[in-house]
Structure 1
Amino acid sequence: MKPPPDGPFPMLKHLCSLLVVALLASPHSLSAADSIIVEKGKPHAEIVISDKPARMTKLAAKELQQYVAKMSGATLPVVTERTPGKSAIFVGMSRHTEALGLATQTLQHGAFRMASGEGWLALLGADKDYVPIEPWGRKRDKNETARVNAEWDKITGDTFWNTASELYQRYHPELDIWEMDDAGTFNAVNEFLRGLGCRWFAPGEIGEVVPKVATIPLPQVNRTVTPDFGFRRFSYYTQHTGIGDRALWDLRLGLNFGAEIAGFPQICHGLKFVIMREEMKKAHPEMYLLQEGKRSTRSEGVPNLLSPLLFEKQVKHVRAMFDHFHEPMHNIDLVDGYSGLTSDDPAWMAQLTPERGWRGTMSDHVWGYLNRVALEVNRSHPDRLVSALAYGAYTQPPQKIEKLSPNLALIDVRHRQEFWDEAKWKERRQWRAEWLKKLPSGKYISWDFCTNARPEQVGRPVVYTQQISRDLRELKGVSLGELVEIYAHPTDKEKSFGYNDLAIEHLNLYLTARLYWDVNQDVNALLADYFTSYYGSAAEAMRAFITHAEANWMHMNTDAAKIGESLDLLAKAKAAADPASLPGRRIRQIADLMKPLEALRMQLSRKRETDLSYRVLETSNTGAKPLGSKPLDGNVDKAWWGEVRIAPLIKLRPEDTQPKCSSSFQIQRDGSTLHIGIVCLEPDMKRLQISTTQNDDPKLLDGDHVSLLIETSSRSYYEISINPAGAVYDLDRATGGRGLGWSSGAQVAVHRGSDRWSIEMRLPIVGDEAFVLDPTKGIDGSRPTELFPWHFNLGRNRVRHGKAERTAYSPTGKTDLHVPEKFAKLWGR
């Protein structure tokens, strides 16, 4: 039986209200102990659990006790024996519930029962304790990883990576639970508390709503509640650092890790566990793809799907997982980043089908291999499943396979927030229909994302409640469930980021989790409850803000007017709530997260007269040595800088003559440092015009020099000029800026060779609000990204015979660089 569509637990709320009214009208009519839980702040009931309760039962009892106390001030004792004359709330299975004939054996995936009788209420689920199988990792430690891998080697007779080496991440010592524990009883307790008005919209106390209730009657109820989706998993980016309050929030949302469906290891990129050990790379290089004349064994390694030995090893690995860990499903998908690869091997390249477009380029190649693995495993383990992703360049179904192996489960990777675009929505539905025709198992899982709070992406109020509801309604009866990948700050470092990672995303996640249980709930009713409960006096103002955000977030990276409208609506909401109140603090979290939009609006409002751009690569992606370890000597050496993203400088104005000496630059990023390499060819090195050797001397601009002008997402603009003697002239040119009183903090070195002079600059990115913290130092602004780019120009001034030859990356049409409208976009990922 599903919860009725008019909200969670309406029957209980109705009964509670009737009983409270009756109690107030006739104080003696409900005074018997068997009809009341709390009366006027005094306990009339106790929480009864088993002598040997499951882990989740103990946590559920604590949860019930804590929130009844928060609501009413009454603390219900937790006991194992009933006390005569007191109402009993049976939490979890015990001999008491067995005597009442309440069974939970058929309840799966966190489903639960709620039943009542004279003087008692039962809240219970299966509550199966997860028991890890050895060998598994207890902590994040190299020695521990080596230990569990060595134990795994004894079992497999091979050198695979033990997928259980990071199992410790799934245990939460502060709660004493595994994420794989069945949470049926906990779900029943929280459904009861939701019926009394408790809500957990976001993690932590700031995210919860707890009403004050002096009297709580014992309800009459008899329900079995099962979810529409068995697999309900949230996966946080920084799981390895711990997830803090989010662990308890996940439970209160009614999630289910789903190990009984998909197993305990990660459900993506499972092939890496076959090939990532150094012992495997050294022993069997033929299992790795040939690229640029070498076998690609860096990092996790890139598999060669044409290798017979790779096929043999992966089948062996999957069978070992089934035989030893007794997994119901194991992921066999490729390593991350496989899409978009090329190879020196003509036979490998011949497998690709670029004519199908990006999403189908590798479909036949990848799924041909995966299907062969699945078929071979099915011969020995027909009762188990293997899974793989529809992802990247192998998102579309293969054309050369009519029917996939009967043991193959599909994990469809999508971005639900993109479904505001009807064309993308229809495209993904069509692909799903095609996949299901090829999928005899019918086992389908969706994979979604909530990653808009990443530092390089944060700012827009991305809300898509209607897409969530529409999509999940379609998936009911089709999908086993869903994993949502979520950006989260590392635990204990949240404050250093300056914003709450779930300030906006919590709403999308809350609605998603509630709809997992019943997709037929009215999403607008859930939203109405959210606005009223969460924002109090600012409810209507926040409804207007969220409604605008849902309709316009997708345009806020390009439309200054939409950003302005959103910020104005949020300002009205802030004004409607006491800043010190919980609603005021919640709105403040959203405002903090949206700060980058204020600067972006200013950027977008500026008239741009060029679409020129430069994409910054991370130094680790250039194929050269990492620049962070290079001695800073000014020599733009290709061994370190590579030969990627080399951009030339051209004449400033169309009427200027072609420059006699060419110049070029490269920009790369390493963490929070921009590396800028500039090469100025010069056949007449003896006559370099060096007008000063002193820093911050304006005479520097009279001679040979290079100038970098930078407008960040929060500051317009800075100038850094360098001459062949290594002198630096830097100033803040922003209105109200510090002029020459500002220092970029750049490390600069100049190299002078026989036919060129070159510059290496390391420019620290201080971060947002650097100007507020210390306006005299550093580049203010977060690193340049695609959503929040910087803008820049870079030029060279060469002086000979009293004349200046000026070149730039972005021609200005004037005799100098100082034309912000002509600044090119600088961005990266």
Structure 2
Amino acid sequence: MTRRLSGGSFARLLALLSGLGAGAAVFAGEEPAPATRSGWDTVPLGEEAPRQAFVPAPVKKSAPAFRQKRLLDGEPLTLLDTDAGQTRLALIVPAKPRPAEKLAAEELQAAFEAMSGVRVPIFNENAVVFEKDAVLADGGPYPRAVLLGALKHGLDAGADNLPPEGFRIVTRGNHLLIAGRDGLAKSEPDNEPDSAYHGSHGERGTLYGALAFLEEECGVRWLWPGPNGTVHPKTHRIQAVRADWRDAPALNQRRVRNWGPVTRGPRGASLSSLGSRVKQGLAVYQLPLERYIENSLVAGDWFRHQRTGGSLQYRYTHAFNDWFKRHGEAHPEWFALQPDGSRAPLLPGRIRLCAANHDLTRAIARDILDKAAKSPGEISFSISPNDEDGKNFYCMDEACRRLDPPNGNPLNFRVIREEKPLAFSYPSLSDRMVDFYNRIATEVAAERPDLTLGTYAYASYRTPPLRQKLHPNVLIGFVGLTYLNDNTLEQDRRLWEGWAGVTDRLFLRPNLFHAGQGFPAIYVRKLDRDIKRCFETGMVGADFDAVVHHWATQGLNYYVLARLLWDPSQDAMALVDDYCRTGFGAAAAPVRRYFEKVEELTDRIAAVMGGESGNDTLREEEIVDVLKQAGSRQGFFAVASRIYTPEQLGELESLLDEAAGIASVDTAVAARVEFLRAGLAYTRQQSRLFRLVTDQTPPPAEDIHALLEERKEVFRQIFEENFYAVGFAHAGFRERVAGILKEYRNTPKKPKPQN
């Protein structure tokens, strides 16, 4: 549903947040009598919450200090030198290598070959003999070796005392030793294939050590998926500095979702999730699904190379999809009272619960305890409500409304009652939901105090509670931060401060990458500022939804984010400089200016989009229905197309022309410049089209049809030649749902010729 508040709602939100403070009391709702579980109404019945002065969240932890590098005496260890005929190098893994150890060897083998032309063999340690000056294996002696993982012969790097996912790299004689913490995650994600997150669902320290060596010692970079985005510096010599160094991630959950992933199974490659959305999006531009599946297979490699994933995988996604099917007949009172007086959901899959019902929370707690008993390795379970869907509404019986302070942040709601739309203002449901979470957590902790219960601060319960403090076993995922609306961003930053003041178990769960519709959008400075602030105020993990594969127009954001999630203390501007230098060589300067110009234009979009402040329960980046505002002159399609004017696009094009002229002697760099140019070609088509469609007096339909035909051909060329430049599946899906071009979709029939 689309919901807008008046221009004063942001001021009311700040006034409300001024009442948040460390002294807020924990308020546990008493169990209501059965007679009070009735009476659907829109009047909150809770006690008014006390107001206190707003205090920013305290700094709870400093920048990570896991990385240590101690230089050792001696000249660098030369692993390969093709000019000197020094090509006998071996990669050694344990007799029964773990997946991380096997992957580490394969990554080093592929990179060394791409850089030097030498394919280095991989041996299991039981197939070699270690002597003083060489490793004896099939094919003769190997004077130098890279030893990977937990080898038994005593030359392993010693990774036992490392932090989770940590690694150690050390040179010892003629050997390079890389080992790390390797193992399975303590809790797997809810019903999600590995491809949806890519990277790891466990500890892969040895792999991460190999990747770190390739980056730091060899100059390898993975800027975006595919060969064009991979930097393998050509060299005749590969060396390792004499050193003993180690590193580990600051966060043990670093999810960055891979939208529309493709996996390879026994029957070949196939879409593993979001398949229907991918198909709908490609159909908008008439692009072939087979090509998408073929090319998307390697997209997941980028997530692994950037070391996303984590050793902890908390559960917090929708927890109650099947509860009406399981319990609706026996316990209808457990479900939300709807405006028509019933408790049966209109959409069974996204049911709403009666949060005040204590029998329900006891049943949920018992269900969690039973699952935990059957799965001893699980450490986390979800208690998260379902997303809003516009059909099943929150419970508005008397008992639930007694949990809602009347001076809570006002939100706009709309429901259907007696077959008519009813719009009304009602306070945030955060206190109600925290009371619900706390009751479940208290029941569970009585038997299993070690379990973590995950949920969201989202939609109608995004603002911090006024009366409640969270049970220490409840983990809150804050669904916020968007960089294409300044007012919304400032609200979100302040809301994070509020939540960080009432809980120490908070993770960041933005939907921000869904916004932007593939237009160029760079916001690394703001992203850097916010990741650092969230980390120092207690962020324990992150889950970003999702990389939608606009690599030419927004890929720099993806890259910087992944690096910061590993180590938030890094300088984001240094990361950008490194991205430009390693990826674009002598053309780095104009490419850097190109990104700076895009960031400037992104800031302008955010300022214009923030002109109408609002406190919608759902925002443009979170639900595609809100995109239906795009036809207005305030919608994103209209705003972006009027900022990316022909003049601005021409200025950006000239910067890429300058880069292309410099890069003409380097085919790899020239191809990367053309990759960025493909993003501009996409933008030129979209801005011209949407500028016309959202105009107060749109042109004749036949003019729009002509532009759509031209766009189709340009998009097909980008799709074929620079597949990863634009995420056409995602852009098409959101464009389709927005309905902005619906009336132009069908090409008009040509009139029959007259006899």
Q: Is the TM-score greater than 0.5?
A: yes
SS of 2:594's partner is helix
Classify 1:304/1:252 alpha carbon distance in 2 versus 1 (closer, same or farther; 3 Å).
same
Match of 2:374 in 1: 324
Distance 1:269 1:342, change over 3 A: closer
1:470 aligns with 2:529: yes
Residues 1:10 and 1:211: Cα distance change in structure 2 (over 3 Å):
farther
Q: 1:221 aligns with which of 236, 243, 248?
A: 243
SS at 1:269 equivalent: coil
State the match for 2:194 in structure 1: 170
Structure-to-structure mapping, 1:243-322, within 5 angstroms:
244-258=297-311, 261-263=312-314, 265=315, 267-272=316-321, 275=323, 278-291=325-338, 292-294=340-342, 295-296=344-345, 298=347, 299-322=349-372
Counterpart code for 2:319: G
CA distance in 1, matches of 2:170, 2:555: 32
What is the Cα deviation at residue 445 of structure 1? Answer: 1.1
Deviation at 1:766, TM superposition (A): 8.7
Distance in 2 between residues matched to 1:783 and 1:178, nearest whole Å: 27
**Contact 1:387-1:409 within 8 A present in 2 as well:** yes
**Equivalent residue, structure 1, for 2:291:** none
Q: What CA distance in whole angstroms lies between the structure 2 residues aligned with 1:483 and 1:563? A: 34
* Greater gyration radius: 1
The AA in structure 2 aligned to 1:384 is L
Contact 2:68 2:247 (C-alpha < 8 Å) held by counterparts = no
Letter in 2 for 1:179: S
Residue number in structure 2 paired with 1:341: 393
Distance 1:38 1:46, change over 3 A: farther
Alignment match, 2:51: none
Aligned residue number for residue 76 of structure 1: 120
d(CA) in 2 for partners of 1:332, 1:383 = 16
User: Which one of 440, 461, 480 corresponds to residue 394 of structure 1?
Assistant: 461
**Cα deviations by residue, 1:174-200 (Å, 9 ceiling, x for unpaired):** x9x993232111110011111211000
2:502 corresponding residue in structure 1: 438
Percent identical: 20
Shift of residue 449, structure 1, vs aligned partner: 3.2
How far apart are 1:105 and its partner, in Å? Answer: 2.4
Instruction: Write the mapping of 1:19-30 to structure 2, written as runs, cut at 5 A.
Output: 19=76
* Gap change, CA 1:270 and 1:105, over 3 Å in 2: farther
When normalised by structure 1's length, the TM-score is 0.60
Counterpart in the other structure of 2:556: 507
Post-superposition offset of 1:251? 1.4
Which AA in structure 1 matches 2:393?
Answer: L
Structure 1 residue 36 displacement after superposition: 3.7
Which residue does 2:182 correspond to in 1?
A: 127
Closer/same/farther in 2, CA of residues 337 and 590 from structure 1, 3 Å limit: farther
Equivalent-residue separation in structure 2 for 1:767 and 1:334 (angstroms): 45
* Greater relative contact order (CA < 8 Å, ≥ 6 in sequence): 2
**1:541 positional shift:** 2.6
Superposed counterparts of 1:308-707, under 5 Å:
308-325=358-375, 326-337=377-388, 341=393, 345-349=397-401, 351-352=403-404, 353=406, 355-358=408-411, 361-401=428-468, 403-417=469-483, 421=486, 427-439=491-503, 442-452=504-514, 457-477=516-536, 478-488=538-548, 501-536=550-585, 538-556=587-605, 557=636, 558=639, 560-575=642-657, 576-577=659-660, 581-595=667-681, 597-598=683-684, 601-602=687-688
Distance 2:734 2:384 in 1: 33
Change (3 A) 1:51 1:104: same
1:107 is paired with a residue whose SS is coil
SS in 2 for 1:95: coil
C-alpha distance after superposition, 1:661-706 (max 9, x if no partner)? xxxxxxxxxxxxxxxxxxxxxxxxxxxxxxxxxxxxxxxxxxxxxx
Residue segments in structure 2 that go unaligned for 5+ positions in a row:
1-61, 137-141, 263-270, 273-295, 413-426, 606-635, 717-731, 745-755
TM superposition shift of 1:125: 0.6
Q: Aligned pair count?
A: 564
Is the Cα–Cα contact under 8 Å of residues 209 and 533 in structure 1 kept in the other structure? yes
Taking the aligned partners of 2:513 and 2:233, their CA distance within structure 1 comes to: 32
The structure-2 alpha-carbon separation of the partners of 1:123 and 1:366, relative to structure 1 and needing over 3 Å to count, comes to same
Given that 1:36 and 1:216 are in contact with CA atoms closer than 8 Å, whether structure 2 keeps it comes out as yes
Q: Could you say which residue in structure 1 is the equivalent of 2:700?
A: 717
Letter in structure 2 aligned against 1:121: L
Aligned 8 A contact 1:458 1:594 in 2: no
Matched, 1:92 2:142: no
- SS for the counterpart of 1:128 is strand
Give the Å deviation of 1:89: 0.9
Pairing of 1:782-793 with structure 2 (within 5 A): 789=740
Write out per-residue CA displacement over residues 247-296 of structure 1, whole angstroms, 9 at most, x where no aligned residue: 221111012333xx344x5x322333x526x3444444333223234311
Aligned in 2, Cα 1:390/1:452: closer, same or farther, shift over 3 Å? closer
1:180 maps to 201
- Would the alpha carbon gap of residues 584 and 344 (structure 1) be closer, same or farther in structure 2, given more than 3 Å must change? same
Kept after mapping to 1: 8 A contact 2:250/2:567: yes
Q: Which has the higher strand share?
A: 1
Cα offset, 1:425, TM superposition:
5.3
Letter in 1 for 2:470: L
Determine the structure 1 residue equivalent to 2:292.
Answer: none
Taking only aligned residues, the RMSD between alpha carbons, in angstroms, comes to: 4.1
1:225 Cα deviation (Å)? 0.6
Letter in 1 for 2:498: E
Task: Determine the structure 2 residue equivalent to 1:45.
Answer: 89
Question: Does the aligned pair in 2 maintain the 1:9–1:191 contact within 8 Å?
Answer: no
Question: Are 2:187 and 2:378, in contact at CA under 8 Å, matched by a contact in 1?
Answer: no
SS in structure 2 at match of 1:373? helix
Deviations 1:107-128 (A, max 9, x none): 3432111111111111111211
Quote the Cα distance in structure 1 between the aligned partners of 2:161 and 2:479. Answer: 31
CA 1:78–1:433 in 2, change beyond 3 Å: closer, same or farther? same
Q: AA paired with 2:438?
A: N
Higher helix fraction (1 or 2)? 2
Q: Which amino acid aligns with 1:88?
A: A
Q: Distance in 1 between matches of 2:453 and 2:649?
A: 48
* 1:602 Cα deviation after fit: 4.1
Distance 1:458 1:191, change over 3 A: same
Q: 1:408 to 1:791 in 2, by over 3 A?
A: closer
Deviations 1:478-497 (A, max 9, x none): 21121111153xxxxxxxxx
What is the distance in 1 between the residues matched to 2:402 and 2:710?
Answer: 46
Partner SS for 1:315 = helix
Q: CA deviation at 1:771?
A: 11
1:279 and 1:3, CA in 2 relative to 1: closer, same or farther beyond 3 A?
A: closer
Partner residue, 2:9:
none
Quick one: structure 1 residues 410 and 771, their matched pair in 2 at CA, closer, same or farther if it must change by over 3 Å? closer
Could you list the runs of 5+ residues in structure 1 that have no partner in the other structure?
A: 20-33, 134-162, 489-499, 611-709, 719-731, 739-764, 774-780, 794-829
Q: CA offset at residue 76 of structure 1? A: 1.7
Change in Cα spacing, 1:93 to 1:309, as seen in structure 2 (3 Å) is same
Letter of the aligned partner of 2:386 in structure 1? V
The 1:320/1:768 distance shift into structure 2, 3 A limit, reads farther
Tell me: CA distance 1:354–1:236, structure 2 relative to 1, closer, same or farther (3 Å): farther
> For 1:117, which of 172, 189, 206 is the aligned residue?
172
- CA distance, structure 2, for counterparts of residue 772 and residue 228 of structure 1: 40
Task: Tell me which of 225, 230, 234 is aligned to 1:212.
Answer: 234
